Amino acid sequence: MLEETYQSLVKRDPDQPEFHQAVREVLESLESVLDKHPEYRSARIVERIIEPERVIIFRVPWVDDSGEVRVNRGFRIEANSAIGPYKGGLRFHPSVNLGILKFLAFEQIFKNALTGIPMGGGKGGSDFDPKGKSDAEVMRFCQSFMMELFRYIGPTTDVPAGDIGVGGREIGYLFGTWKKLRNQWGGVLTGKGLAYGGSLIRPEATGYGAVYFAQEMLKTRGENLEDKVCLVSGSGNVAQFAAQKINQLGGRVVTLSDSSGCIYDPEGIDHQKLQWVMELKNVRRGRIKEYADKFTGATYQEWDAFNPPTDHNPLWDHKADCAFPSATQNEINARDARNLIKNGVYLVSEGANMPTVPEGIEIFLDEKILYGPGKAANAGGVATSGLEMAQNAIFSSWSREEVDQRLHQIMVNIHAQAHAASEKYGAKGNYVLGANAAGFLKVAEAMMAQGVV
């Protein structure tokens, strides 16, 4: 039955492989859940959840610094609003297309349900590439993007955030435009600057959360992160703060990457080196390659921009204990997964969304390593966005300690829910099944209560 549902989805949208991949993974987890809840089958909950409530596609024209008119495509996928306003990031990257954003919006439905905060699922973005653009170009692009998007979003309707290529700078320009168009101040975007309604800890939240989730997984084996050698991919928002938290907890981070290549520093990317990376990526907007020029003992390996190695990714081929993929989707293929195991890695906590291909996930599950799928492990980002929305709604702001404590507790709860659901449905310690089942059940219950809408 679920196979039939899956096949009809593939037939309907054949050119969306990432969306198929994300749906397949969830459907494979749901057989035993639906056996216990036949009412969800007859109400066609699965068929309804895989069809977004609304898809908006729009033109984004803008003028570059040389006076040329450029045209990009903008998207917003409003996937599911059963438990709260649509919530999910905006991605600006040349690889962005409808299938990728549908996969991200679909994942977001379950992830948001796991946080325990009332947020539905959404995602959006554009094939615009902020890399190499001036601030003025980025501002004009963001203004044009929001001139269309503003019709569809609002603090209780749809609340976008950042994702790849959308950080504090972009959120600022997007918020400024929304406010001008609406003549209203409201918590319509999260990831805002502290000066205008942002939350402390929001920039740190996804990376910190992935490490808190790892800590919880390690606890089930009576271990912690002290002295663990960790592979981290990416060098953006998630990677930077995952690395920072690993350092704080006594681990040693030995890799980072960007879309051009990866670095390996066996001595560890300590606090000082990480500060340098943050300045490189966030202020100078440079390339990770420069790390190997700056720090002796570190090596750099290049790969094709936007075409990470299909054969294998050298970043995953070092001796280590833990891995925190924090760059992008499908960055661990089957060979990488085998390399990780061969090199001693027994914990993978996904900061990125869907960084592991299905064959890789199977290898992790067969090997019974501690494997935290992105849906659970990286939910700290959206959870803290939820905390930002709460602070905006009451015109207040909480201290760093308070937000961090709430984030930590949310990650502990997500781990506990996923673990309990994995046990209930006969696969103890399988966090893929546990996270999918626990997230699905919350959304399904809400959809049942609200009728066929």
The residue ranges that bind ligand NDP (CB under 6 A) are: 162-165, 167, 206, 234-239, 257-260, 306, 308, 326-328, 351-353, 378, 381
Q: Considering beta carbons, is residue 347 or 447 the nearer one to ligand NDP? A: 347
Q: Considering beta carbons, is residue 6 or 213 the nearer one to ligand NDP? A: 213
Rounded to whole angstroms, how far apart are CA atoms 384 and 174? 19
CB of 336 to ligand NDP, least distance (A): 13
CB of 415 to ligand NDP, least distance (A): 16
Q: What single string gives the DSSP state of each residue in 270-314?
A: -HHHHHHHHIIIIIS---THHHHHHSTT-EEEE--TT---SS--G
Rounded to whole angstroms, how far apart are CA atoms 282 and 279? 5
Looking at 87, 102, 111, 123, which residue is catalytic? 123
Q: What single string gives the DSSP state of each residue in 74-109?
A: EEEEEEE-SSSSEEEEEEE-TT--HHHHHHHHHHHH
CB 83 within 8 A of CB 118: yes
3-state helix, strand, coil in the chain (%, to 5): 50, 15, 35
β-strand pairing of 299-302 with 261-264: antiparallel
CB of 259 to ligand NDP, least distance (A): 3
Q: Considering beta carbons, is residue 45 or 277 the nearer one to ligand NDP? A: 277
- Residue 399's φ and ψ, nearest 5 degrees, are -70, 165
Q: Considering beta carbons, is residue 375 or 444 the nearer one to ligand NDP? A: 375
The DSSP symbol for 163 reads B
Q: Considering beta carbons, is residue 378 or 444 the nearer one to ligand NDP? A: 378
- Residue 63's φ and ψ, nearest 5 degrees, are -115, 125
Q: Considering beta carbons, is residue 340 or 352 the nearer one to ligand NDP? A: 352
CB of 138 to ligand NDP, least distance (A): 13
CB of 397 to ligand NDP, least distance (A): 19
User: How many other C-beta atoms are found inside a 10 Å radius of the C-beta of residue 134?
Assistant: 10
- The full length of the chain comes to 453
Q: Considering beta carbons, is residue 121 or 429 the nearer one to ligand NDP? A: 121
CB of 257 to ligand NDP, least distance (A): 6
Q: Considering beta carbons, is residue 1 or 305 the nearer one to ligand NDP? A: 305
CB of 419 to ligand NDP, least distance (A): 21
CB of 308 to ligand NDP, least distance (A): 4
Rounded to whole angstroms, how far apart are CA atoms 405 and 398? 11
Tokens 């960007």 locate to 258
What are the C-alpha distances in Å from 448 to residues 40, 53, 54, 83, 158? 8, 16, 19, 11, 22
Active-site residue flag, 123: yes
Rounded to whole angstroms, how far apart are CA atoms 122 and 87? 5
Rounded to whole angstroms, how far apart are CA atoms 342 and 345? 7
CB of 258 to ligand NDP, least distance (A): 3
Q: Considering beta carbons, is residue 196 or 306 the nearer one to ligand NDP? A: 306
In 3D space, the residue among 353, 308, 351 whose CA is nearest the CA of residue 333 turns out to be: 308
Residue with smallest beta-carbon separation from ligand NDP: 236
Q: Cβ contacts of residue 269 below 8 Å, gap of 6+? A: 243, 247, 253, 254, 256, 277
CB 433 within 8 A of CB 427: yes
What are the C-alpha distances in Å from 366 to residues 52, 118, 429, 430? 33, 34, 12, 10
What are the C-alpha distances in Å from 360 to residues 17, 151, 167, 187, 356? 16, 41, 30, 39, 6
Residue 71, strand partner residues: 61
Active site residues: 123
